């Protein structure tokens, strides 16, 4: 188990980045599972900043996505939301966010960054990925019954030691077949999303008329 390699006295902080457009029950399920497996003290949802130049909407604003996250996690002890990426005017990189949290919690804290298995395909292209790996532990979420991510091709880029650490930090997660894209599509078509998102989030979407849903 990952947490067994950590000093018990160190504060364990999980960072969960994404667009969360909208946040749904799948996000909450994998977050709760990671929180328990890592025996974390706090977990931060970090909504990504939406580029003003993107036209493939309709997507919710940063303020709306942040509000929905806060509604969704209201009764989850240890879960929090941070708008650090939304507040940045310039392009936001993972390293910027990790360094922001490192400054908040100090050198002694153990930072875990949750990423989906699909991130492995572009990991070598991340901005200053070596520095990211020095500052936090990158936990690749591996859904049950799916093939385990093959990280061997990263050895020439990141080195055997870093790749071995990534292999050790692959995190088994529940398989939850819910996507934000599916939810937006269903809402635009007037279909129910009752089992897909928390009730307070559904109410917020309805009140705001988000994703093409009529008020």
93-152 pLDDT per residue, tens: 999 999 999 999 999 999 999 998 888 889 999 999 999 999 999 999 998 778 888 899
Apex CA 129: angle with CA 51 and CA 139, to 5°?
Answer: 90
Model pLDDT, residue 59: 87
Residue 149: what pLDDT? 87
Domains of the chain: 9-207 (3.40.50.620)
pTM of this structure: 0.90
CA distance 47 to 19: 5
Helices 62-72 and 199-208 meet at what angle, rounded to 10?
A: 150
Q: Is the pLDDT of residue 66 over 70?
A: yes
pLDDT per residue as tens digits for the range 3-45: 444 454 589 999 999 999 999 999 999 999 999 999 999 999 9
**198-208: average pLDDT:** 96
CA end-to-end span of the chain: 47
Q: Greater confidence, 71 or 172? A: 71
With cut-offs at 50, 70 and 90, classify the pLDDT of residue 195: very high
Q: How many CA atoms lie within 13 A of 198 on its CB side?
A: 22
Per-residue model confidence (pLDDT) at position 9: 59
What is the mean predicted confidence (pLDDT) over 49-59? 59
Q: pLDDT at residue 212 above 90?
A: no
- Tell me the torsion sign for CA atoms 79, 179, 85, 150: positive
pLDDT in tens, 39-53: 999 999 999 986 544
Q: What's the pLDDT score for residue 121?
A: 86
pLDDT recorded at residue 2: 53
């Amino acid at each position: 188990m990952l947490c067994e390699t950590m000093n018990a006295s160190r504060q364990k902080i999980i960072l969960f980045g994404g667009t969360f457009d909208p946040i749904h029950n799948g996000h909450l399920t994998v977050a709760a599972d990671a929180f328990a497996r890592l025996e974390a003290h706090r977990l931060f949802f970090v909504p990504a900043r939406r580029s003003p130049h993107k036209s493939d909407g309709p997507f919710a604003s940063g303020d709306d996505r942040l509000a929905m996250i806060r509604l969704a996690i209201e009764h989850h002890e240890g879960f929090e939301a941070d708008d650090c990426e939304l507040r940045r005017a310039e392009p936001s990189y993972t390293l910027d966010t990790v360094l922001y949290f490192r400054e908040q919690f100090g050198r002694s804290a153990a930072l875990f960054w949750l990423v989906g298995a699909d991130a492995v395909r572009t990991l070598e292209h991340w901005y200053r990925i070596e520095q990211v790996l020095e500052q936090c532990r990158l936990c690749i979420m591996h859904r049950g019954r799916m093939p385990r991510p093959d990280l061997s091709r990263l050895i020439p880029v990141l080195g055997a030691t870093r790749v071995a650490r990534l292999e050790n930090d692959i995190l088994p997660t529940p398989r939850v077949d819910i996507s934000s894209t599916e939810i937006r599509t269903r809402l635009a078509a007037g279909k129910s999303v009752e089992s897909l998102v928390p009730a307070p989030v559904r109410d917020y979407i309805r009140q705001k008329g988000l994703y093409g849903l009529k008020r």
